Amino acid sequence: MSGPPTGGDRESGVPAGGERLSTAPAGGGRVSGVSVLGVRHHGPGSARAVRRELERLRPDAILIEGPPEADALVTLAPGLEPPVALLAHVPAEPSRAAFWPFATFSPEWQAILYGTSAGIPVRFCDLPAAHSLAGDPDGPDEPEPAQVDPIGSLAAAAGYDDPERWWEDVVEHRDGDTPFEVIAEAMAAVREGHEPGGREARREAYMRKTLRAAVKQGFGRIAVICGAWHVPALTGPMPSAAADNAVLRGLPKVKAELTWVPWTYGRLASWSGYGAGITSPGWYHHLFDAPDRPVERWLAQAAGVLRDEGLAVSSAHVIESVRLAQSLAVLRGRPLAGLGEVTEAARAVLCEGDDLAVELIQRRMVVGDRLGHVSDGTPMVPLQRDLREQQRRLKLKPEALDRELDLDLRKPLDLDRSHLLHRLALLGVGWGTPGQARGKGTFRETWTLRWRPEHDLALIEHAALGTTVAGAAAQRAADLAAEPSAALADLTSLVERCLLADLPEALPDVLAALSAKAALDTDVTRLMAALPAMVRAHRYGDVRGTSAEGLAVIVRSMLERIRVGLPVAVTGLDDEAAADLLKHVDAVHSAVALLPDTTPDGAPDGASDGASDGASGGAAEGAGPRGRWLSTLRGISDRQDLHGLIEGRLTRILLDSGELDDAGDRMSRAMSRGQAPARAAAWVEGFLAGDGLLLVHDPRLLALVDGWLSGLPGDQFTDVLPLLRRTFGGFAAPERRAIGERLRSAGRDEGEGEQDVDERRAAAAVATVLSIIGKASG
């Protein structure tokens, strides 16, 4: 159903290779023969006109532009809720697919509904999808490469500078009275001298072939619904049947399957298989559903949308906006106010010039959030059908607009919903986008749900993986784990996703691949980047009731490799490398805190098993994960060759963990006069990274920083100021105020101390002063 957005029709006698197809004028006369109704795809005026013309013609067969493999799907149309689309795909290669969308206001859809309600055979007459999907050189979804813009030419001839506005005035705003014959004659004039080639020639040849076959089968009154650009090819002097067959001979062919899938107005606005996408499907839907006083009804609905958002819009606003829209239409010589006029009226009166309010109307009404629906009898792959059943069971209705979903994983229903959304994410079906949970508990999840038509295609692409969403997701996880290019971080993330999706059957393959990759990877930064996801996965085994067998062994193995490699990794780093490594250190430290702090044999932290890897010494060697990790950091922190940023951060981590009682001494050494100011500033930055509460509650450390900073010479202070500003700028505003108050308080106390007088020691001085001034002491 590709073609330029054109309209019009002409019917005349058509010789075809010695045969003559009897045609009838669209406006009256005989009702026998072939009537070709040229339309604009997705045009509400064309849709009403086609319905009226079919009711007048009462044909005994209807041919519609579209893939003929979909003929068997026509009978399902009355049970569908548009917008919907025909989806054609190659079973062996589902990503090769094409869509043919239909809306309520599509002329082809109205022709289908008329034919099915009247018991009239409805067939598609365009080039089969089997050829289009086989690698047609012009592509299955591209618009026709017309040499001229037919609408632009006709609009220019009528004195219009906007082709779309001309089409709306002469067709869409005529309340169903589309002048098929007149526009078709104009289209014939535009196409005069045009020789179709390539895909356009093949499409029109197949249309004529289908038309000849219908005549040969004995249908006496045939109505053809097609884009007006093709009307002259079906009504003018036509090539012979042999010539058309020669054009179609030897075309590549594949096996194609077709079905109906839901569509959205948002997708209809952005792309169309017709090659005739429209930017205002909501407006066109309104024109089709409300032919009576469409401007008044539209602006009243716009006022309702604004009121729903809390904006004050009165009936007087609506009345004045209607008057303005109608006045603009008169000034511009239009038979009816179009979308441009009602938008300008809404902007000036309803929205009072507020562009955000205009955008709201654009999103809610001009485009719309309508999502179509297909019936249960529609052909589906087992994966699609399983998802539909789960959507019903879990009470999750697919919708085209964003919907916020808060889940409490302690509830069975919400836990099942979470599993489904994570399984679909593994299959590339992004129905749900995870968000930031509002609570602090690990039992909460938030999602933003929005269904898109391409999700059906993703399900079809993965149909070979399994008949259920769970089975297909598990197989997909196993396939991803088996890929040679899978990195360590990818595999750890995959383990986490399997646990989130409750896919225990996929874990053995994924864990085996992860273990093999971790055993060979010697890059400590990659191991550190991968460990947090593994630890989170280990936790999910408790929170979600999912078995996490094998994870603990891999986590311990990775942590030991990190402990062995970290002392080397911190050597000889520049500022950028040190900052990057600290991010990994902080992440690993946070992850280790989540692990059960027991030794491999179940003993509590601190019970040595005699193991030693040489990473660090001390009593913590052989203890649980937390003790062994802190022992490694303690050993590194005592080195003299560390970057200041790393040394300061390790000191803070050990202090917060209760592993240091000499933090003040370490800070004094780091900020002594023997240290370069830049290194001292880096040490302070690492030590204070995160928050400033330590300085608020520890006067000694605050005094050390204050004394060091106030003792710097002017030039050195200027050098370290950017580092200090970055450090203190990262603190929350209340923390900065609290630090300032502590410093002010300390200064005030010091000042008051200087004013205190020891009267006993001052007595002699007082007596001397009194005698000098001639007063006796009392």
Give counts: helices (H), strands (E), the chain: 33, 12
Confidence category of residue 776, pLDDT binned at 50, 70, 90: low
Residue-wise pLDDT for 669-723, tens only, equals: 877 767 787 887 888 788 877 666 767 777 777 777 777 777 777 777 787 777 7
Domain boundary among 367, 401, 418: 367
SS (H, E, C) 237-283: CECCHHHHHHHHCCCCCCCCEEEEEECEHHHHHHCCCCCCCCCCHHH
Mean pLDDT rounded to a whole number for the chain: 80
Choose the final residue of a domain: 659, 694, 729: 659
**In a shared domain, residues 488 and 611:** yes
Give the pLDDT score at 361. 92
Q: Are residues 24 and 115 part of one domain? A: yes
Q: Which of 414, 418, 302 is nearest to 366 (CA)?
A: 302
Question: pLDDT value at position 389?
Answer: 92
Contacts of 412 (CB under 8 A, 6+ apart): none
Q: Which of 51-55, 219-223, 711-715 is the least confident region? A: 711-715
Three-state secondary structure call for residue 208: helix
Asked whether residue 607 falls in the same domain as residue 536, the answer is yes
State which residues form the domain around 415: 382-465
Q: Which of 63-77, 202-216, 556-570, 731-745 has the lowest mean pLDDT?
A: 731-745
**Domain membership flag for residue 766:** no
176 and 238, same domain (yes or no): yes
Sign of CA dihedral 548, 552, 558, 559: positive
Looking at the domain assignment, is residue 373 inside a domain?
A: no
Q: Say if 472 falls within a structural domain.
A: no
State the Cα–Cα distance between residues 42 and 27, nearest whole angstrom.
22
Are 549 and 635 part of one and the same domain? Answer: yes
Q: Is a pLDDT exceeding 80 seen at residue 631?
A: yes
774 within a domain of the structure (yes/no): no
**What are the C-alpha distances in Å from 338 to residues 277, 284, 328, 332?**
18, 10, 10, 11
Rounded distance between C-alpha atoms, residue 414 and residue 398, angstroms: 16
Structural domain tally of the chain?
5
Whether the pLDDT of residue 778 is over 70: the answer is no
| CA 362 to chain CA mean position, Å | 20
Residue at which a domain ends, from 465, 495, 519: 465
Task: Identify the pLDDT of residue 2.
Answer: 37
158, 11 contact by CB (below 8 A) = no
- Structural domain contains residue 7: no
Sign of the dihedral defined by the CA atoms of residues 518, 524, 530, 535, in that order: positive
Asked, for residue 279, whether it belongs to a domain, the answer is: no
Q: Is the confidence at residue 612, as pLDDT, over 70?
A: no
d(CA 15, CA 239): 8
Q: Are residues 249 and 134 in the same domain?
A: yes
How is residue 379 written in tokens? 């052909």
Given this model, what pLDDT does residue 620 score?
A: 46
Q: Buried b vs exposed e over 194-203: b needs ≥16 C-beta within 10 Å?
A: eebeebbbbb
pLDDT band (50, 70, 90) for residue 306:
very high
The 10s digit of each residue's pLDDT in 447-506 is 999 998 888 888 888 887 888 999 999 999 999 998 888 888 888 889 888 888 988 888
Lowest mean pLDDT among 351-355, 408-412, 544-548: 544-548
Instruction: Examine residue 83 and say whether the peptide bond preceding it is cis (omega within 30 degrees of 0).
Output: yes
Rg (CA), the chain: 38
Q: How confident is the model at residue 419 (pLDDT cuts 50, 70, 90)?
A: very high
Q: For residue range 426-441, list pLDDT tens digits in order.
A: 999 999 999 875 544 5
361 within some domain = yes
Specify whether 68 is located in the same domain as 162.
yes
Helical segments of 174-219, H only:
180-190, 198-216
Do 102 and 236 share a structural domain? yes
H or E element in which residue 221 lies = strand 221-227
Q: What is the pTM of this model?
A: 0.64
- Both 74 and 192 in a single domain? yes
Q: Are residues 589 and 700 in the same domain?
A: no
Which of the residue ranges 292-306, 558-572, 604-618 would you say has the lowest mean pLDDT? 604-618
On the question of pLDDT at 327 being above 90, the answer is yes
In a domain, 282, yes or no: no
Residue 197 has a pLDDT of 83
> Model confidence over 85-117: pLDDT tens digits?
998 988 888 778 888 999 999 999 999 999 999
Which candidate, 617, 567, 558, places its Cα nearest to that of 592?
Answer: 558
Residue type, 609: D
Same domain, 68 and 174: yes
Band of residue 130 on the pLDDT scale cut at 50, 70, 90: very high
Tell me the mean pLDDT in the region 551-560: 80
pLDDT over threshold 60, residue 144 = no
Over 50: is that where the pLDDT of 282 sits?
Answer: yes
Residue 386 and residue 356 share a domain: no
